[in-house]
């Protein structure tokens, strides 16, 4: 008998592999089998082994077979029953993109700590910051959160967190509705990375579900929420800043106000704080504009994200018009990086959305 979808005591955290897979599928999370005792997808069928063809065009999927890993993920209960009837020891993978998930994969591997400028891509760490004891992704993610003045995601009991057999942590979040599509990355990448030893599992990847057992141990859910919570806006902004946004995302059509700031009315612009707000934003826009003289190495994304985050706070505080602020940001961004308009929009809109959660009142800051 399958676990009831609403049973909070089991679901994604207990029961047989089939029960857990069915519970996940009932929540809309497409799943696929992992080879017994491993965290890798079950092998392709014999007909597909060695054949060169696109996973999307694989004929096996229409016949209910599990070829090509997460590309075969499904929520069909009959298919799941057949897969686990054939191999009850299968582990469970969840296709992140199809499930609408963004999972922060925090590693704790034994590795040499890189130069401090590679710990948080795009964020220089002053030599006066004592990094004694820093040794894993737990430390770099906490450092990033502290730099932004936000809670450490590793301590977020409001979302599903899964301890891995190697001592790492998977932090499951729902991808932002209407926001940019986000892609996978490795924390050791020199091109796209959130932080050293912090991987990202999103579109184009899968995550190992809790209760899956490998030779190293079991993926175990920690106390707290049993379902993924919403991806915090500040973390979404960081993912966009560090290049995780899928570039073919089309921004929502304009409605006469910035859709990035979310639904509902905004306070009217307060006359007394307007000039102070404009001066505050102008200084940040000047930093963005200074990047125009150099094609790289100027922390452009970081500066634009900071300016957008501040503008979002000023709008939320009633000291800046939403449309005006967005226009100023995009103009500055396009002058500095005219070759990447879509990426500029992503950074601006995500930063505005994140900043709108923290109203700024300039008089209080001066």
CA distance 26 to 8: 13
Which residues face 182 on adjacent strands? Answer: 245
Residue 247 burial (CB count, 10 A) = 12
Give the other-Cβ count within 10 Å of 52's Cβ: 5
Residue 18 to residue 129: CA distance in whole angstroms: 49
HSE, CB side, 13 Å, CA atoms: give it for residue 123: 21
Element (H, E) at 95: strand 91-95
Structure confidence at residue 13 (pLDDT): 65
Whole-angstrom Cα distance, residue 211 to residue 219? Answer: 5
Where helices occur in the chain by DSSP H, the ranges are 17-26, 77-86, 96-99, 137-148, 233-241, 271-289, 300-316, 322-336, 341-355, 362-365
DSSP string for residues in 334-366? HHH-TT-HHHHHHHHHHHHHHHTTS---HHHH-
The C-alpha atoms of residue 360 and residue 280 are separated, in whole angstroms, by 11
The contacts of residue 211 (CB under 8 Å, 6+ apart) are 12, 13, 14, 15, 17, 20, 92, 218, 219, 220, 221
Of the candidates 86, 55, 49, which has an alpha carbon nearest to the alpha carbon of residue 72? Answer: 55
Phi-psi region at 195: left, alpha or beta (left = phi > 0; alpha = psi -120 to 50): beta
* pLDDT computed for residue 3 by the predictor: 39
Dihedral sign from CA coordinates of 201, 177, 312, 358: negative
Task: Give residue 11's pLDDT.
Answer: 59
Residue 245 CB partners (closer than 8 Å, separation 6+): 180, 181, 182, 183, 239, 343, 346, 350
Helix axes 17-26, 77-86, angle to 10 degrees: 160
Structural contact between residues 165 and 66, judged by C-beta atoms closer than 8 angstroms: no
3-state secondary structure (DSSP) of residue 11: helix
Take residue 357 and report the two structure tokens written for it. Answer: 């959660």
Return per-residue pLDDT of the chain as tens, 366 residues: 233 443 444 556 678 999 999 999 999 999 999 999 999 999 988 888 877 788 877 888 888 889 999 999 999 999 999 999 999 999 999 999 999 999 999 999 888 899 998 999 999 998 888 899 999 999 999 999 999 999 999 999 999 999 999 999 999 999 988 878 899 999 888 789 999 999 999 999 999 999 999 999 999 999 999 999 999 999 999 999 999 998 653 443 333 333 444 433 444 444 456 777 888 888 899 899 888 887 777 788 889 988 999 998 888 888 888 888 888 898 888 888 888 888 888 888 888 888 887 888 876 443
- Give the Cα separation of 245 and 196 in Å (integer): 19
Q: What is the pTM of this model?
A: 0.72
H or E segment and range at residue 198: strand 198-201
Q: Please give the Cα distance from 196 to 25 (Å, whole number).
A: 32
Tell me how far apart the alpha carbons of residues 84 and 33 are, in angstroms, rounded to a whole number.
Answer: 8
Tokens of 238: 């960081």
Distance CA 166, CA 163 (A): 8
How far is it, in rounded angstroms, from Cα 350 to Cα 75? 31
Please answer whether residues 122 and 228 qualify as being in contact, where contact means their C-beta atoms are separated by less than 8 angstroms. no
* Tokens 């955290």 sit on residue: 13
- Name beta bridge partners: 203: 183
Task: Label residue 283 exposed, middle or buried (CB < 10 Å: 0-12, 13-18, 19+).
Answer: exposed
Apex 173 CA angle, 55 and 186, nearest 5: 60
Which of 235, 195, 200 is closest to 114 using CA atoms?
Answer: 195
């Amino acid at each position: 008998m399958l676990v009831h979808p609403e049973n909070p005591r089991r679901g994604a955290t207990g029961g047989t592999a089939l029960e857990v897979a069915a519970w996940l599928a009932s929540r809309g999370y497409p799943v696929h089998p992992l080879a017994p005792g491993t965290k890798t997808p079950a092998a392709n069928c014999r007909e597909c082994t060695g054949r060169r063809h696109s996973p999307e065009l694989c004929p096996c999927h229409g016949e209910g077979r599990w070829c090509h890993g997460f590309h075969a993920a499904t929520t069909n209960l009959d298919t799941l029953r057949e897969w686990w009837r054939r191999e009850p020891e299968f582990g469970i993978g969840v296709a992140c993109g199809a499930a609408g998930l963004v999972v922060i994969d925090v590693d704790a591997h034994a590795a040499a700590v890189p130069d401090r400028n590679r710990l948080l891509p795009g964020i220089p760490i002053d030599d006066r910051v004592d990094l004694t004891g820093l040794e894993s992704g737990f430390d770099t993610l906490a450092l990033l959160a502290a730099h932004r003045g936000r809670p450490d995601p590793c301590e977020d009991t409001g979302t599903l967190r899964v301890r891995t057999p190697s001592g790492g942590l998977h932090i499951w979040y729902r991808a932002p509705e209407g926001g940019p599509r986000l892609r996978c990355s490795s924390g050791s990448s020199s091109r796209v990375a959130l932080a050293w030893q912090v991987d990202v599992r999103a579109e184009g990847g899968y995550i190992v579900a809790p209760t899956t057992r490998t030779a190293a141990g079991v993926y175990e859910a920690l106390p707290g929420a049993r379902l993924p919570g919403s991806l915090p806006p500040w973390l979404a902004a960081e993912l966009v800043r560090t290049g995780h946004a899928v570039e073919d995302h089309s921004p929502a059509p304009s409605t006469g106000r910035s859709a990035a700031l979310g639904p509902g009315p905004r306070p009217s612009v307060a006359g007394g704080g307007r000039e102070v707000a404009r001066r505050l934003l102008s200084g940040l826009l000047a930093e963005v504009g200074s990047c125009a003289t150099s094609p790289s190495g100027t922390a452009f994304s970081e500066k634009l994200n900071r300016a957008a985050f501040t503008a979002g706070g000023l709008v939320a505080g009633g000291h800046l018009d939403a449309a005006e602020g967005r226009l100023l940001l995009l103009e500055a961004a396009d002058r500095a990086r005219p070759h990447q308009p879509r990426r500029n929009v992503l950074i601006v809109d995500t930063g505005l959305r994140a900043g709108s959660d923290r109203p700024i009142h300039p008089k209080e800051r001066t």
